[in-house]
Amino acid sequence: MKHSATPFSAPFVPMMGIYSATMMALELWSTSLSTIAQRQHLWQTQPFFSPGMMLENQRMVTEKMEASIEAGMAMQKAFFGAMNGHYAPWWVTSQKTMSPYHRRSRANSRRLSR
């Protein structure tokens, strides 16, 4: 039977994982702020009952629900892994939890800036 060199699933250099999680959080913060500003501009310049705004509002709510479900599933997977003895460091779990929000926030910021 072959034994691995490290007993944990943690990366060899945790500083890079912590740096990546921090950068992802900062990027999520900045793209979220720009998305909020762009959406508020749309709400102030267009009537709320126009078909374009109705679709945009529905899309916003649907994307938030999908992202929260994905993040919840990632947290649940990490929890069940921890209960089974598979340790995942906090920076790995935080990246997996933030990634659905991060991906959608970047896409929304890009789409609304056009």
CA-nearest of 89, 17, 70, 86 to 62 is 70
Q: How many domains does the chain have?
A: 1
What domain range is 98 assigned to? 71-114
Using one digit for the tens of pLDDT, what is the confidence trace for 72-104? 999 999 999 999 998 889 999 999 999 999 999
Q: Quick check: is 49 in a domain?
A: no
Q: Quick check: is 13 in a domain?
A: no
Q: Quick check: is 20 in a domain?
A: no
Q: Quick check: is 78 in a domain?
A: yes
Using one digit for the tens of pLDDT, what is the confidence trace for 21-37? 999 999 999 999 999 99
Rounded to 5°, the CA angle 113-55-46 comes to: 65
